Structure 1
Amino acid sequence: MIRVRTRAATAALLATLLLAGGFAGAHEALTARPAAADTIFTFEGGGFGHAVGMSQWGAKGRADAGQSAATIIGAYYPGTQLTEVAQSGVRVHLADASSTTIAFTGATTITSNGGALASIIAGETVEIKAVGAAFQLQVIAPTVKAAVAIAANDTVVVPLNGAPARLSATGNRYNNGRLIVRLPATGSLQIINDSLTMQQYLYGLAEVSSSWPIEALKSQALAARTFAFRRVQSPRTANYDILSTTSDQVYVGYEKQAGASGDRWVAAVDGTDQQIITYDGAPIEALYSSSNGGYSEDSEYAFVTKLPYLRANPDPFDNSAGNTTFRWTRSYSGTELGEYMKAYRSVDIGIATSYEVGGWISRVGRVDRATIKLIGTKGTQTVTGAQFRNMINQEGAPWNRQLPSTLLFLRPIGSFDGVGITPGFVNVSGWALYQGSAAPAFAHVYVNDRFAGSATATEPRPDVAASVPGAAGGAGYTVSVPVDRAVNTICVYAVAPTGSTGSALLGCRTVTVDTQPFGSFDAAIATPGGVRVSGWAMDPNNAGSRDVHVYINGAIAGSIRAGNAREDVAAVFPSYGPAHGFDATFAVDQTINNVCTYAINVGPGDHQLLGCRRVVNSVQPFGSIDVAVGTPDGVVISGWAIDADTSDPIDVHVYVDGAGIALTANGSRPDLAAVFPGYGGAHGYAATVAASPGAHTVCAYAINVRGGANQQIGCRSVVVPADPFGAVDVVRAGGGGIRVSGWAIDPNTTDPIDVHVYVGNAGMPLLADRERVDLAAVYPGSGTQHGFDVVVPGRAGQTVCVYAINAGPGATKVIACRVATA
């Protein structure tokens, strides 16, 4: 993100940035205010390089903090593993040049297409140069020897044999593998260092200082080996695998080993021999850069492909001792920017006077894919953020004039997170900061285009500190502003700290504040002689308890103070507290009643209808037959009955085929109390009515107390059993035969009866006399001695049939036939 500063003290740093929610500047256009002629544009940013994957300075910071190489790799490439893999040789492109010299410290023989060109002794220097469509080799020191012509399609091979040789095309010495020289184009040599083992290649990498902590060096060796491993798998050309520059990895050959603390770097390479970084078993794209400015970047933003192990993450360790690119500032005049654009695009915009930034700024502030429109005195030109950096960093630009990265700070930034409503006020919250500065920013709130309040953004926001490079933990704000309209436009601006300039609109929201009382008419329940009403009500203009008026059949029945505790309401409207519930009972003298409740207004607004309910206060008794079943003892019947005119128990008459008995429905039924809370729970009835075996009709009547008539509450058809009956619970084959268990009852006696068990045609008689307490609960008049449990000869797959043997009137009955299972 980009900041503009002019020399004039009154010039604004930033124009208003329009953004509704989220980071200011994420996808909106920033317009720098027009500057005076040839004023200074200042860019502030952080980091050096693309910031995808490992930060080299961050790795050092982590090693300084005691982290191991494995931990460092896991932090920068999450979800990956270290894996030992056999390594192939590496071919490194060193240079393209019209000529080069090679100064030898050891003897060697230079060949071309297998034939010797020159035998070299230690101390000699050779020159190889392109000559038209061919090239030549000549010993030039200490004694000049005759030049040797080499055909254009020949390849010159220079074995190094471990003795350092200095190559003038790069200025570096090389001692491993071979130097290969070709003439791929007229007048241009291609120089390659091949026949290198992976270890020898890594010995020559000059990516970080050899004096760094050993765990940082090991991390670098692991990332570099993995990067080279993938390059060998997919070489750049048929002649070489990898470049020796920052386009791939910086390779300087023997200079690294021979340099200060070179033995430490060699030890780090040897300590990670054969190890590469893998994800799901495959080598990763082990990207890394010098410094990420405190936050790594997503791979798809800086490059193209989204990779699961190359995600944007905070990296506080990047600000390690010695990292001078963690934060940086670069300033350019309008004339310079105009000249840069002319050289880069051949477009003359004159003197740059302002610029606009728009498009896709990454979530951590990098502008690679954003657009930067330079506006000059002669025209305009738009480039991407990456192109803008390339424009400034054109070949020959000194380091202190280059943009080290595309992480540019737009200040201030922030977010308008949310709005809450309290009586008479709107509460605004979010975060704001002046990025890269320890001074807090301000949040200014406008209501309906009028300034309404402000706050210093210093409240704890660890989420912001974790996601925004350079952000402090205290960047939050909360502002309460008064409102006096039903519909309000709330706008929040992030404002730079005292002593700085600039502001950014974080967003505007339309907030509707209800000035009318509101609530809920939760229930209207018929009670003996009345109606019970309940709910809640509140007035947004006052947090106190309010009145509710109740109307029944068009006439006011009374006023209730809505002051009962309702914690559920307080949870939704915490600023109003819980004292807003109402619950009261009103007398009625009609069967059908229309009940309405009104919340009574206080201050601006009107009384509000909470709702109307139709309540039927029945004058007839009502109830239910819950159970009616024939048993050996007769008909078992149970249920409940209530008269709407009283909460007392009432009588119930039960008739079996016209012959009746009288009961009092006074048994405990807590379930009824929950459904009919005004009547209590003492309304259950239960009885056993004697009846002969056979079919019967059973009816129950609720006996009216006053005003109304007796009501039939149900009729059922039941059968009182005469034949024996029972159940087979288990038929299971085992090692000793087939286990058969169950029970049998004859309604004509309480004594145990016989049971016959057949497996195929083979039968076994037994007496069903085992204790079965569960049967007594269902058939209370039959006793408990009716169970059986026996093992009979047989095996799995055979059919087992069980018969209950009749003991009186009736007939023997098969209880069940089942196939035995294991």
Structure 2
Amino acid sequence: MKKILLFVLSGLFLVILIVPAMLVLPFDNRTPNEGSISRQAAEIPQEHKGSEKKASTHKSTVAIPVYRTVSKEIENIPLEEYVVGVVASEMPVEFEKEALKAQALAARTYIVRQLTENNVINAPKGSLVDDTQMFQVFKNKKELKSLWKEDYENNIKKITEAVSETQGQIITYDNKPIDASFFSTGNGYTENSEDYWDNRIPYLRSTTSPWDKNSSKYRSQKVIAVDQFEKLLNVSLPSNGTIGTITKLTEGKRVANVIINGKKFTGKEIREKLGLKSTDFNWSRDKGNIIINTKGYGHGVGMSQYGANGMAKEGSTYDKIISHYYKDIKIVDGESFLSKVTAKK
């Protein structure tokens, strides 16, 4: 009897152990990674989450083939390093960092557009751009060191920081990289694109730029002998001592049209033929010379560099500067555009 009781008790003990395990097993059929994935999602720091104005955390592997006009060779330069070399070459290093950051966006946008669009300027065979104003002026670190000498370390640190703090960011309109044109100094305004070039571009609209008046390049004067003036423009000046009549101004307060002794010119034609710094000009005749006074320096379309620096001095951040000079744009991470370039290779 005792043996039978012992046997029954042993059986009950085994049932107590086995049944709970059998009940649990069907509900514990998770894949091995489910728990770790949930923890990883919870542990992502807030500062790593995406933001339209934050620099990209992804460092592009795209290299830019740049034709070096002195050595006649092509250098393959990592994208962000290329932007450093452009910002250092195109904008004075003593400018405010926020202005340098705005320049970095313009430079990066230009080259991303060059990489991804078909309607761009052709560069020497095998390259995407050269290192001149035809595209963007570029100097490598060795050249900058030779230029800056003992100031190199401080200068390159400042430029590199400005580029790094905007890493990967570009300017877009209608989900495409813009033609991020820029120039040195305005006349107090910028130009509509069609007032200097052929096409109307919706984001390149005339806007105010009062900070330009503080630029050392705001005013300039050029004196040209009358016979040289006539030769350059292929005109004969009136015998009454006058020069010509400005018949129309642009929205940016520059010369749109001029008539010289019956011959019509655009302000752009006058600027290019006479080598003027701006299309905002007036002139007078003094005996055998034509004296031409100009305001501003450059074509006037897009971002004024001295204007950007003036805004930065007043406390504007780079995104505010960009939004002032380029209308209705967005600042985005350019990786989606660059990934298409990488995929083609």
User: CA offset at residue 301 of structure 1?
Assistant: 1.4
- Correspondence 1:251-650 to 2 at 5 A: 251-254=138-141, 255-256=143-144, 259=148, 260=151, 261-320=155-214, 323-341=215-233, 347=234, 349=236, 353-357=241-245, 360-367=248-255, 369-373=256-260, 375=261, 382-393=264-275, 403-409=276-282
Indicate how the Cα distance of structure 1 residues 211 and 348 shifts in structure 2: closer, same or farther if over 3 A, else same: closer
1:91 and 2:65 correspond: yes
User: CA offset at residue 312 of structure 1?
Assistant: 0.6
Query: Which position in structure 2 is the counterpart of 1:701?
Result: none
User: CA offset at residue 331 of structure 1?
Assistant: 3.0
Indicate how the Cα distance of structure 1 residues 359 and 83 shifts in structure 2: closer, same or farther if over 3 A, else same: farther
Q: Aligned with 1:276: secondary structure?
A: strand
Indicate how the Cα distance of structure 1 residues 87 and 340 shifts in structure 2: closer, same or farther if over 3 A, else same: farther
Which one has the largest radius of gyration?
Answer: 1
Query: Which position in structure 2 is the counterpart of 1:245?
Result: 132
User: Aligned equivalents of 1:366 and 1:94: distance in 2?
Assistant: 35
Query: Which position in structure 2 is the counterpart of 1:225?
Result: 108
Unaligned residue ranges in structure 2 (runs of 5+): 1-51, 285-293, 296-345
Query: Which position in structure 2 is the counterpart of 1:198?
Result: 79
What's the % identity of the aligned pairs?
25
Preserved contact between residue 92 and residue 242 of structure 1 (Cα < 8 Å): yes
User: CA offset at residue 200 of structure 1?
Assistant: 1.8
User: CA offset at residue 354 of structure 1?
Assistant: 3.1
Indicate how the Cα distance of structure 1 residues 230 and 288 shifts in structure 2: closer, same or farther if over 3 A, else same: same
Q: Aligned with 2:98: secondary structure?
A: helix
Indicate how the Cα distance of structure 1 residues 372 and 280 shifts in structure 2: closer, same or farther if over 3 A, else same: same
The total of aligned residue pairs comes to 219
Amino acid at match of 2:267: G
User: CA offset at residue 404 of structure 1?
Assistant: 0.8
User: Aligned equivalents of 2:272 and 2:136: distance in 1?
Assistant: 20
User: Aligned equivalents of 2:171 and 2:246: distance in 1?
Assistant: 37
Unaligned residue ranges in structure 1 (runs of 5+): 1-79, 96-168, 171-190, 342-346, 394-402, 412-434, 437-822
Q: Aligned with 2:179: secondary structure?
A: coil
User: Aligned equivalents of 1:239 and 1:370: distance in 2?
Assistant: 41
User: Aligned equivalents of 1:195 and 1:303: distance in 2?
Assistant: 32
User: Aligned equivalents of 2:82 and 2:61: distance in 1?
Assistant: 11
Indicate how the Cα distance of structure 1 residues 348 and 358 shifts in structure 2: closer, same or farther if over 3 A, else same: closer
Indicate how the Cα distance of structure 1 residues 326 and 221 shifts in structure 2: closer, same or farther if over 3 A, else same: same
Query: Which position in structure 2 is the counterpart of 1:454?
Result: none
TM-score normalised by L of structure 1:
0.25
Q: Aligned with 1:93: secondary structure?
A: strand
**Which structure has the higher relative contact order (CA within 8 Å, separation 6+)?**
2
Indicate how the Cα distance of structure 1 residues 348 and 404 shifts in structure 2: closer, same or farther if over 3 A, else same: closer
User: Aligned equivalents of 2:77 and 2:250: distance in 1?
Assistant: 40
The superposition leaves residues 358-412 of structure 1 with CA deviations (integer Å, 9 ceiling, x where unpaired) of 5553123222x42442x4xxxx75433212212112xxxxxxxxx211112599x
User: CA offset at residue 332 of structure 1?
Assistant: 2.7
User: Aligned equivalents of 2:237 and 2:205: distance in 1?
Assistant: 40
Preserved contact between residue 83 and residue 278 of structure 1 (Cα < 8 Å): no
Equivalent in 69, 89, 96 of residue 213 of structure 1 = 96
Runs of at least 4 residues off by over 6 Å:
80-83
The superposition leaves residues 488-529 of structure 1 with CA deviations (integer Å, 9 ceiling, x where unpaired) of xxxxxxxxxxxxxxxxxxxxxxxxxxxxxxxxxxxxxxxxxx
Q: Aligned with 2:67: secondary structure?
A: strand
User: CA offset at residue 256 of structure 1?
Assistant: 2.8
The superposition leaves residues 141-170 of structure 1 with CA deviations (integer Å, 9 ceiling, x where unpaired) of xxxxxxxxxxxxxxxxxxxxxxxxxxxx37
Preserved contact between residue 83 and residue 276 of structure 1 (Cα < 8 Å): no
Indicate how the Cα distance of structure 1 residues 253 and 306 shifts in structure 2: closer, same or farther if over 3 A, else same: same
Indicate how the Cα distance of structure 1 residues 371 and 350 shifts in structure 2: closer, same or farther if over 3 A, else same: closer
Q: Aligned with 2:250: secondary structure?
A: coil
Indicate how the Cα distance of structure 1 residues 390 and 410 shifts in structure 2: closer, same or farther if over 3 A, else same: closer
The superposition leaves residues 278-335 of structure 1 with CA deviations (integer Å, 9 ceiling, x where unpaired) of 2233211111100112101111212233223211111112223xx2121223333323
Normalized per residue, which structure has more helix? 2
User: CA offset at residue 247 of structure 1?
Assistant: 2.1
Q: Aligned with 2:81: secondary structure?
A: helix
CA RMSD of aligned residues (A): 3.2
Preserved contact between residue 54 and residue 166 of structure 2 (Cα < 8 Å): no
Normalized per residue, which structure has more strand? 1
Indicate how the Cα distance of structure 1 residues 357 and 229 shifts in structure 2: closer, same or farther if over 3 A, else same: farther
Preserved contact between residue 257 and residue 266 of structure 1 (Cα < 8 Å): no
User: Aligned equivalents of 2:209 and 2:84: distance in 1?
Assistant: 28
